[in-house]
Structures are given as C-alpha cells and as structure tokens.
C-alpha cells in the first residue's frame, strides 16, 4: 500500500483575517503523529495545508497509488475537511479522521465518506489501525480500540476507549523536518520582527469548565519531564534559531514544582528564550511562581478570565474567583510580564450587571491585551447539554460550525457588539484619564451610551 499521507483542513490562503494577523504555527499534532508512525515502521508524508493550496493537495492525492489519508479536524475546518474527504474518496483513498471536531460528530463524518474516526490520542491508535486496514480492510476494525467505523452493514460501530499514553517522554519529538518550519518563521519575522515556534510540555486539562471541549484528552493531565522538554528546546534552537517560543499547554503553570525544576534545567543548559503561554488565574497566585515565569523568559501570560461576574464564573464551573484574576494580573505586571485576557459574553444567565462587572474587572486590572468572544456551545460539552433543547443551526451542518449555533431566547449579536463598545470605551477612558482628559471624557460618554443601549435592548 502507498505511504500514509497526513494533512489538515486549514489553508492560510483562504483566511483573510489571519493573513492580516499572521501568527501561524505548525500543526503540532500531525508532527507528533508522523514521528510516532515513522518510528513504528510506517511510511508517512505530511501535506501542510497552512502554506499549501487546495489544488496542490488534490494534485498530490492524484499522484501514485492511493493509500490512507489522515486528516486532523477542528471546529473551524468542517467545510474544508468535507471537501478534502470528497476529493480523496474520488481518488480511492481510505480516509481516517482525528481531532476534537470529528470525535464529536463521528456519525456525520462517516456518512460524508470518512472510513474511520479516531477518538482520543492518535499515536497508538493510528499505528495499530494502519496495519489492520492493510490486512483486513475498513469494515473489520472491531478489535482496534479508540475508533468509530462503519461495519459491513454500513452501521457506525464505536470500539472501547483506548488507554491514554501514561509517559509522554516515551514519545519521539515532533517530526519538524517533515514540513517547512522556515516558512512559519519567515511569516512571523516579516509581520512581527521575531520568529516563533510552538511546543507543548503536557497534554490535557483536569479542570471542568462547562464550555470547554475535552474530546481528545478527556480530563487527564500528563506532563513531560523537565529534561525531556529542555532536550526539545535545545533541538529547536539548534535547528531553527527562533527568537521566541509559544508553549501551547492548556495550563502552563499547573504544577509549580515542575515549573521550578524546568527553569533550573534550562538554566543548567544556558537556554533562555522569550515566550508566551496560557495559565489559569488560580495557578498564578504566588510571588515565587510569577518571579520564576519572568526569569524563565515569559514576556506575556494569557489568562482566561472569561467574566468579571463571580456568579457567571460559578455557573461556568471555572473554580476561579474574581479576586484571583485581579491578583494574577497584578503579580504578572509587577514582575514585568504583559497580560493577555480572554473574555466571553453571553453565557447562560448573563445580565447587564454581569457585563458591568466584566467591564470593571478589565478597567481596574488593565491587561495589556484583551480579546472577547460570544459563547457558543460545543458538541459534547456540559454547556451544550444545558442548552441542547434551545440550540438551532441556521445553516446546513456541512456548511456550518459549532460557532454558528443559535440559542433560542439569547440576545442577538448586536447586543454583544454594544457590550464590546462599552468595554473598550470604558477601559480606554480609564487609561487616558491622566494624559488626555478630553478624549477620556468622550470615551466615557460613549461607554455610558453603549450601556444605555444594552439596557434598552433588554
């Protein structure tokens, strides 16, 4: 059988917004999968669609004997992935999907032509699956744990869950040589003056926020050893010389003992690279942790605040207090780190007073960057189950994503646009109060008008 081809559904050339932002990162999951499969003796190729085109991918599918096409899926690439599936099946490829999106909609993707959907981590499952596909075909896969497939009667069959990889140090480093990392670095340097490369130190998140998908790793949390991560950083520096790193963990500071050990390991090797990463406010409450992050090279820490209303945070099961958010921001600033803050409008039960609390939190804490989104229910999450009876999809499933779900009884997008105006005007007015009081007063009037509009809209 021909080599296994791995790809994903994201094409930078089709994303005008990201072309302006231009902060692309390599598909780390595929690089891990490629490295593992090669070590297991499989012949693997990656088509990195980020800098490729759809025509180039389809031409590759038409070259040589068809084999197995593995596609990574997430909620923003559904329509694209469905087009790739159709193109691959037209050329007699077997199609295997992985990632959170296809795990949540396995039956729909199988109906659209996929042969197998991998549920959970891909390395062990894919290595076994490729061998069984070659020997037994796509309709006799019942002995392979961790998949959904169609049996001889075309009915979806879900096999038992596969155990997760306990020791992440046993995994090979991502197969970075399989794609052109320099294109990513060059894009970053042209747009931002510094090249950045991503890596992870752990898999999974044990927290149970109601809106967050755990479709791949469940509620597990497994961390690589400090020495193993430092080995990878040394390899990245030697091969690519990036100016900075992005630690793509769900919660980088979840273990303070690990953080201190890792910092010591990097110091021992004289490795020091600026980086940014994500944490939770409750995992950044100590001077020691903040000081260690700053010494390690963290120039920006992202915090998922989500809301300034404790009532809404509790409804989300965030297990974080507003006071902890304020302290985390203050600690980061005190130690010279920028703060990015994620915020979410429209969670169930949110009212004007909750929006006012969020405005006050951001105004008083003054993060360097804050980003807002309107909450959307992701299939498989407790949030989706809570609103399931009121969820409507205004588009055909194949043309939509979970972001398109409408929740009956919830306010419309215009309402949350006014919330954004209120937030941004109030924060900017506070920042300018001492240096430009006239402009600050204008912004305060805009903020009051936006709040009044929210009250009017109800």
Residues 28 and 110 in one domain: yes
* Any domain includes 22: yes
* Any domain includes 37: yes
Q: What is the pLDDT of residue 422?
A: 98
Decide which of 338, 353, 371 is a domain's last residue: 338
Residues 205 and 324 in one domain: yes
* Residue for token pair 């593995």: 70
Q: What is the pLDDT of residue 427?
A: 98
* Residue for token pair 């690990």: 258
Give me 34's structure tokens.
């490629």
Give me 118's structure tokens.
């991998």
Residues 333 and 187 in one domain: yes
* Any domain includes 346: no
Nearest one of 111, 115, 86, 112 to 98, comparing CA atoms? 115
Residues 188 and 276 in one domain: yes
Task: Kindly report the CATH number assigned to the domain that includes residue 71.
Answer: 3.40.50.280
- Which range of residues forms the domain containing residue 173? 168-338
Residues 150 and 185 in one domain: no
Give me the average pLDDT of each 10-residue run along the chain (458 residues): 87 94 97 98 97 97 94 97 98 97 97 97 97 88 96 93 97 98 97 97 96 93 98 98 97 97 97 97 97 97 97 97 98 98 97 98 98 96 96 96 95 95 98 96 97 94
Contacts 24+ apart (CB under 8 A), 160-164: 161/119, 161/120, 162/119, 162/120, 162/121, 162/124, 162/125, 164/120, 164/121, 164/203, 164/204, 164/217, 164/218, 164/220, 164/222
Looking at the 3D structure of the chain, how many domains does it have?
Answer: 2
* Any domain includes 113: yes
Residues 118 and 172 in one domain: no
Half-sphere exposure of 406 (CA within 13 A, CB side): 9
Decide which of 338, 356, 371 is a domain's last residue: 338
Residues 131 and 215 in one domain: no
Number of helices (H), then strands (E), belonging to the chain: the values are: 17, 17
Q: What is the pLDDT of residue 207?
A: 95
Q: What is the pLDDT of residue 1?
A: 47
Task: Kindly report the CATH number assigned to the domain that includes residue 222.
Answer: 3.20.20.70
Residues 25 and 76 in one domain: yes
pTM: 0.95
Residues 174 and 250 in one domain: yes
* Any domain includes 408: no
* Any domain includes 365: no
Q: What is the pLDDT of residue 124?
A: 97
Residues 132 and 203 in one domain: no
> Which residues have a Cβ under 8 Å from the Cβ of 437 and sit 6 or more positions away?
none
* Any domain includes 414: no
Rounded CA separation 130/68 (Å): 8
Residues 19 and 101 in one domain: yes
Decide which of 305, 338, 371 is a domain's last residue: 338
Helix (H, G, I), strand (E, B) or coil at 238: helix
Q: What is the pLDDT of residue 2?
A: 63
Helix (H, G, I), strand (E, B) or coil at 184: helix
* Any domain includes 236: yes
Residues 137 and 175 in one domain: no
């Amino acid at each position: 059988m021909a080599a296994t081809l791995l790809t994903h559904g994201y094409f930078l050339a089709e994303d005008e917004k990201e072309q302006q932002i231009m902060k692309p990162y390599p598909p780390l999951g595929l690089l891990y999968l490629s490295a593992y499969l090669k070590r297991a003796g499989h012949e693997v190729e990656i088509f990195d669609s980020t800098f490729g085109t759809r025509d180039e991918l389809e031409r590759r599918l038409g070259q040589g004997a068809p084999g197995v096409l593995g596609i990574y899926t997430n909620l923003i690439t559904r329509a694209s992935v469905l087009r790739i599936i159709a193109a691959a099946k037209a050329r007699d490829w077997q199609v295997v999907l992985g990632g959170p999106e296809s795990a949540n909609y396995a039956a729909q993707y199988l109906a659209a032509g996929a042969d197998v959907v991998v549920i959970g981590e891909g390395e062990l499952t894919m290595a076994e699956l490729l061998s069984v596909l070659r020997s037994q075909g796509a309709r006799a896969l019942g002995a392979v744990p961790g998949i959904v497939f169609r049996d001889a009667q075309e009915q979806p069959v879900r096999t038992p869950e596969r155990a997760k990889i306990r020791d992440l140090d046993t995994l090979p480093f991502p197969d970075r040589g399989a794609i052109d990392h320099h294109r990513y670095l060059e894009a970053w340097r042209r747009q931002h003056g510094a090249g950045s490369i991503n890596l992870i130190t752990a898999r999974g998140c044990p927290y149970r926020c109601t809106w967050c998908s755990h479709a791949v790793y469940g509620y597990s949390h497994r961390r690589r050893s400090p020495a193993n991560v430092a080995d990878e950083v040394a390899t990245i520096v030697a091969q690519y010389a990036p100016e900075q790193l992005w630690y793509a963990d769900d919660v980088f500071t979840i273990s303070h003992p690990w953080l201190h050990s890792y910092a010591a390991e990097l110091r021992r090797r004289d490795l020091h690279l600026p980086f940014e990463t994500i944490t939770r406010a409750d995992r950044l409450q100590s001077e020691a942790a903040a000081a260690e992050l700053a010494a390690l090279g963290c120039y920006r820490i992202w915090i998922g605040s989500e809301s300034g209303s404790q009532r809404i945070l509790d409804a989300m099961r965030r297990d974080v207090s507003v006071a902890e958010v304020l302290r985390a921001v203050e600690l980061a600033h005190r130690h010279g780190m920028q703060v990015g803050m994620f915020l979410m409008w429209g969670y169930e039960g949110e009212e004007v007073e909750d929006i006012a609390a969020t405005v006050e939190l951001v105004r008083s804490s003054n993060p360097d960057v804050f980003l807002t989104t309107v909450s959307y229910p992701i299939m498989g999450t407790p949030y989706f189950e809570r609103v399931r009876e009121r969820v409507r999809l205004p588009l055909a499933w194949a043309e939509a994503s979970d972001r398109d779900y409408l929740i009956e009884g919830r306010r419309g997008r215009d309402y949350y646009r006014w919330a954004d105006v209120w937030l941004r005007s109030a924060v900017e007015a506070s920042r300018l109060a001492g240096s430009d009081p006239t402009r600050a007063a204008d912004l305060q009037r805009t903020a009051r008008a936006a709040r009044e509009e929210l009250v009017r809209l109800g």
